[in-house]
C-alpha cells in the first residue's frame, strides 16, 4: 500500500477526493487540514496547519511519512487578488521541500486553468502561462520554484490544472452555491454578466477520478489538464442548473461587466489526461 497524503482535505475537492481514495486497497490515505467536518470519519485524519508547521523538522513523521502527496491546500482561491496568495507562497514551497527532503518522492499539486491567462480556445498543457492576478502569479511561481528544486532529483512531479468543477453545489463556493443561497432567501433576480463566455465544466466526481488516475501512475508527469474537454457558455450552464433544480430565481444578464482577464472561450485539451486514464484503466 502506498501512503498518500492529501492536504486541504476538508475543502470542496479534498473532501470528495479522500472519501473516494479511502475505498482503494492500494492506498493508505492520510488526510490533513485544520478541520475535518466534511471528511468521512473512516479516513485517517491528522489535524495540522501545514503552513505554520512547514519548516518543522518532524513534520514528515507527524504526517505519516507519505510516499505521495496531493497538495490541494490553498487560501482564498475564489478571491484572485488577495494579498494572501503572495504572502503564503514561500510557506507552500517550504512545506513541499520539507516533505521531499525527508523522503516523499511523488508530488501532485493543484494548479488552475487560469494560469493560461486570457487565452482563447482549446488549450493544451504547453500553452504559455500568463499571470493575470495575484492568484495566477502565485500558482505559476509555485510551479516554477518546484521545477527548479526538483531538477536532478528523482521526483515524480505532476501539476494538475483544474478546470471548473461543479456538483455538490452547496459546498463549492461557486456561482451555483450563491444561486442556491439566493433562492433560499427568496430573491427573484440576481445581477450577472452577459453569460456568453464559455468554460470547461467538470463534475466533481469526474475530477476526483482524474486526480486518482494521475497519482496512480508515474509515467506521465508535468502539467496535466483536468477537464471535460467541452466548452459550455456560462449562460447555458446557469440556465440548465436553474431548470434542473426547479428554482424560481432568474439571472438578470448584462448587469455586470466581465472581468478583464476572463477569456471568451477556454477549454482543456484532454489528450494527456486520456492517456493517463487509459494507463490506469481497470486498476
Beta-strand runs (E) in the chain: 2-7, 27-33, 44-47, 68-71, 106-112, 121-123, 156-162, 164-166, 189-191, 198-203, 222-226, 231-233, 250-252, 266-268
Distance CA 157, CA 37 (A): 30
CB 199 within 8 A of CB 268: no
Cell numbers standing for residue 123? 488549450
Torsion of CA 223, 100, 33, 21, to 10 degrees: 60
Q: How many CB atoms lie within 10 A of CB 102?
A: 15
Q: How many CB atoms lie within 10 A of CB 75?
A: 14
Which residues have a catalytic role annotated?
135
Q: How many CB atoms lie within 10 A of CB 264?
A: 12
Give CA separation, 20 vs 6, 82, 209, 216, in Å.
Answer: 12, 31, 9, 13
Helical packing angle, 175-184 and 234-244, nearest 10°: 40
Angle at 117 between CA 271 and CA 197, to 5 degrees: 80
Give CA separation, 208 vs 134, 166, 227, in Å.
Answer: 26, 11, 11
Amino acid at each position: 500500500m502506498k501512503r498518500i497524503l492529501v492536504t486541504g482535505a476538508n475543502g470542496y475537492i479534498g473532501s470528495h477526493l479522500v472519501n473516494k481514495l479511502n475505498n482503494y486497497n492500494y492506498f493508505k490515505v492520510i488526510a490533513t487540514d485544520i478541520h475535518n467536518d466534511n471528511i468521512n470519519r473512516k479516513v485517517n485524519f491528522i489535524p495540522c496547519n501545514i503552513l505554520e508547521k512547514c519548516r518543522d523538522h518532524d513534520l514528515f513523521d507527524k504526517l505519516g511519512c507519505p510516499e505521495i502527496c496531493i497538495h490541494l491546500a490553498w487560501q482564498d482561491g475564489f478571491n484572485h487578488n488577495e494579498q494572501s496568495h503572495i504572502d503564503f507562497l514561500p510557506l507552500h514551497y517550504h512545506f513541499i521541500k520539507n516533505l521531499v527532503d525527508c523522503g516523499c518522492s511523488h508530488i501532485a499539486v493543484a494548479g488552475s486553468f487560469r494560469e493560461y491567462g486570457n487565452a482563447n480556445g482549446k488549450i493544451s498543457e504547453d500553452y504559455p502561462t500568463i499571470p493575470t492576478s495575484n492568484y495566477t502569479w502565485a500558482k505559476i511561481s509555485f510551479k516554477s520554484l518546484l521545477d527548479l528544486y526538483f531538477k536532478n532529483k528523482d521526483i515524480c512531479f505532476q501539476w494538475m490544472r483544474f478546470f471548473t468543477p461543479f456538483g455538490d453545489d452547496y459546498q463549492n463556493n461557486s456561482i451555483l452555491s450563491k444561486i442556491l443561497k439566493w433562492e433560499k432567501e427568496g430573491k427573484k433576480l440576481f445581477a450577472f454578466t452577459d453569460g456568453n463566455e464559455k468554460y470547461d465544466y467538470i463534475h466533481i466526481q469526474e475530477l476526483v477520478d482524474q486526480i486518482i488516475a494521475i497519482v496512480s501512475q508515474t509515467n506521465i508527469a508535468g502539467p496535466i489538464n483536468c477537464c471535460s474537454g467541452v466548452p459550455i457558455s456560462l449562460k447555458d450552464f446557469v440556465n440548465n442548473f436553474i431548470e434542473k433544480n426547479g428554482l424560481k430565481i432568474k439571472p438578470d444578464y448584462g448587469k455586470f461587466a466581465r472581468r478583464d482577464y476572463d477569456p471568451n472561450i477556454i477549454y482543456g485539451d484532454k489528450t494527456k489526461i486520456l492517456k493517463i486514464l487509459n494507463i490506469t484503466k481497470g486498476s
